[in-house]
Chain A
Amino acid sequence: QKEVEQNSGPLSVPEGAIASLNCTYSDRGSQSFFWYRQYSGKSPELIMFIYSNGDKEDGRFTAQLNKASQYVSLLIRDSQPSDSATYLCAVSSTSGGSYIPTFGRGTSLIVHP
């Protein structure tokens, strides 16, 4: 069974700090990696995706992928109180012709002023 593991948190950081969110996955055939943000009572929204080893930056967000270690992370620079949410890691592969993103349980992030 394909598994995606995340520390449920909460991760608490002060405003302006860097928040680091981590995710590990079990399926070595995984090819696509996503980070979603979910505010309380709302549905997930995509904030980053990464397909290749290394770093990918988009504004204050940086996604990092290490396929050898089966590890993906999300860094949020200059964290703001509005970043307080649950961050879901999702992983998928196209093995067998299917494409089913598997989600972790999410990490709760709290950014305090």
Chain B
Amino acid sequence: DTGVSQNPRHKITKRGQNVTFRCDPISEHNRLYWYRQTLGQGPEFLTYFQNEAQLEKSRLLSDRFSAERPKGSFSTLEIQRTEQGDSAMYLCASTVNTGELFFGEGSRLTVL
């Protein structure tokens, strides 16, 4: 399978715990995006990378969120001190410069 891969697919955690999601993009794609989606809403932009450089981060993203893309390959999204409001589907997408996003299956986070 050469699509975008995300792990874990589901994560249930208690409030205050840290969680980390991983995304493996399509190998030749240089841009990688993280979005968050809640029920009934469209994907909300969180951050994006071009190769290993994090070029933009949403103003809505609190300091509890951090993302990395070492060596321009896979990416991780970490949420520290999770809150119930962080419960959502976290979507990773990749693309070449044409901009048509290819999404992974998503990582669903439930914070109890």
A58 CB, min distance to chain B CBs, angstroms: 13
Contact between chains at A88 and B55 (CB < 8 Å) = no
Contact between chains at B48 and A43 (CB < 8 Å) = no
What is the interface of chain A, defined by CB distance below 8 A to chain B? 4, 6, 8, 32, 34, 36, 42-46, 49, 88, 90, 92, 98-106
CA A80 to CA B33, docked complex, whole Å: 32
A63 CB, min distance to chain B CBs, angstroms: 13
* Chain A residues with CB under 8 A of B70: none
A112 CB, min distance to chain B CBs, angstroms: 21
What is the interface of chain B, defined by CB distance below 8 A to chain A? 31, 33, 35, 40-45, 48, 55-56, 89, 91, 97, 99-106
Known pairs A43-B103, A49-B100; list 6 more (Cβ under 8 Å).
A34-B99, A45-B103, A46-B101, A92-B99, A103-B43, A106-B42
Once A and B bind, how many residue pairs between them come within 8 Å at the CB atom?
54
Contact between chains at A100 and B41 (CB < 8 Å) = no
B101 CB, min distance to chain A CBs, angstroms: 6
B99 interface neighbour in A45, A101, A104, Cβ under 8 Å: A101
Contact between chains at A44 and B103 (CB < 8 Å) = yes
* Chain A residues with CB under 8 A of B106: 43
